[in-house]
Amino acid sequence: MEDLAPKIIFWVFAALMLGSALIVVAGKNLVRSAFALLATFFSVAAFYVMLGADFLAGAQVLVYVGGILTLILFGVMLTNRIYSLELNTPRFQVVPGALVSAAIFMILVTVVRVTPWKQASIVEEGPTTARIGQALMNQYVLPFEVASVLLLIALLGAAMLVRRRTDL
């Protein structure tokens, strides 16, 4: 019985994630898609919790649900006549597309099943924040700094793109 509970939780969240992701992609209403994305992000956070990655789960909720998604919703709702907007998503080449997707899916499933994946040793459960902080300041200090350059340049590019031509 003890093994059963995590499995049920896993499948519930997996179903939630896939179902909501499908609505995001196929939905014709932009607001509905944005709210479905919320469920997707939450389900991913749930997986992080199940893997014992507490900090990652928190960051996922704060950054994606709290930050990015709220921004998307703001953008969507501030747009004029958003509720009457019908998303125009024409479908091309349905049959070939479905065949290719199915083939890729089969290949990936086969690969996942036959490959001897590296098993990580079971780590002690507990707060991961301190360990992440130490890794960022020691082993991963260069990627950490490179990421800051990347963010600086993304900020600069965003500012440049939204700026009016007159106030150069």
Partner 1 sequence: MDRLDAVSSLKYFVPELVLVLTLIGVLLCDLISKNRAPMERRLLIVLPSLFGLLVALFFSVSIYFSASGPDPSDAQALFSNMVAFDGFGSLLRILFIFTAIIILLFTIESRELRSVHHGELLVLLLTVTVALIWMANSINLLMIYLALETVSVASYIMVGYLKTDRLSNEASLKYILFGAVSTGTMLFGLSLLYGLTGSLDLYEIRAALMSEQVVASSGPALMVIIVLVLAGIGFKTATVPFHFWCPDVYTGAPTPVTAFLSVGPKVAGFAVLVRFFYGGMASSTGEQTWTMVGSVDWQTILMGISIITMTLGNIAALLQTNLKRLFAYSSIAHAGYIMMGAVALSDRGIKAMLAYVVVYLFMNLGAFLVIIVVHNNTGSFDIKDYAGIWRRSPMLTIVMGIFLFSLMGIPPFAGFLAKWYVFAAVIQAGLVWLAVIGVLNSAIGAFYYVKILKTMFMEGSDTAEPSSKLELHPLYAVLLFVLVVPNIVGLLLWGYLDRVTEYSHKLLDVM
The reply to whether 120 sits near partner 1 by the rule CB under 8 A is: yes
Size of interface with partner 1, in residues (CB under 8 A): 29
When binding is defined by CB under 8 A, the residue of 78, 86, 160, 166 that contacts partner 1 is 160
Nearest distance in Å: CB 96, partner 1: 16
Alpha-carbon separation of residue 66 from 19, 106, 114, 121 (angstroms):
21, 35, 39, 33
Spatial contact of 32 and 9, defined as CB atoms under 8 Å apart: no
Task: Decide if 59 contacts 36 (C-beta within 8 A).
Answer: no
Span interacting with partner 1, options 9-17, 18-26, 65-73, 138-146, rule CB under 8 A: 138-146
- What DSSP assignment string belongs to 91-148? ---HHHHHHHHHHHHHHHHHHHHHS-PPPPPPPPPS--HHHHHHHHHTTTHHHHHHHH
- Least Cβ distance, residue 5 to partner 1 (angstroms): 26
Q: Tell me which amino acid residue 120 is.
A: A
- The residue from 5, 111, 122, 123 that contacts partner 1 (CB under 8 A) is 111
Rounded-to-integer distance, Cα 42 and Cα 23, Å: 15
- Least spacing, CB of residue 40 vs partner 1, in Å: 16
* CB 1 to partner 1: min, Å: 30
- How far apart CA 110 and CA 154 sit, in angstroms, is 38
| Site membership for partner 1, residue 94 (CB under 8 A) | no
Q: Which of 94, 116, 125, 166 binds partner 1 (CB under 8 A)?
A: 116
Does 161 help bind partner 1 (rule: CB under 8 A)?
yes
102 binds partner 1 (CB under 8 A): no
For 109, phi and psi rounded to 5 degrees?
-65, -45
Work out which of 66, 97, 133, 143 binds partner 1, going by CB under 8 A.
Answer: 143
| Binding interface with partner 1 (CB under 8 A) | 107-108, 110-111, 114-118, 120, 138-143, 146-147, 149-150, 152-154, 156-157, 160-161, 165, 168
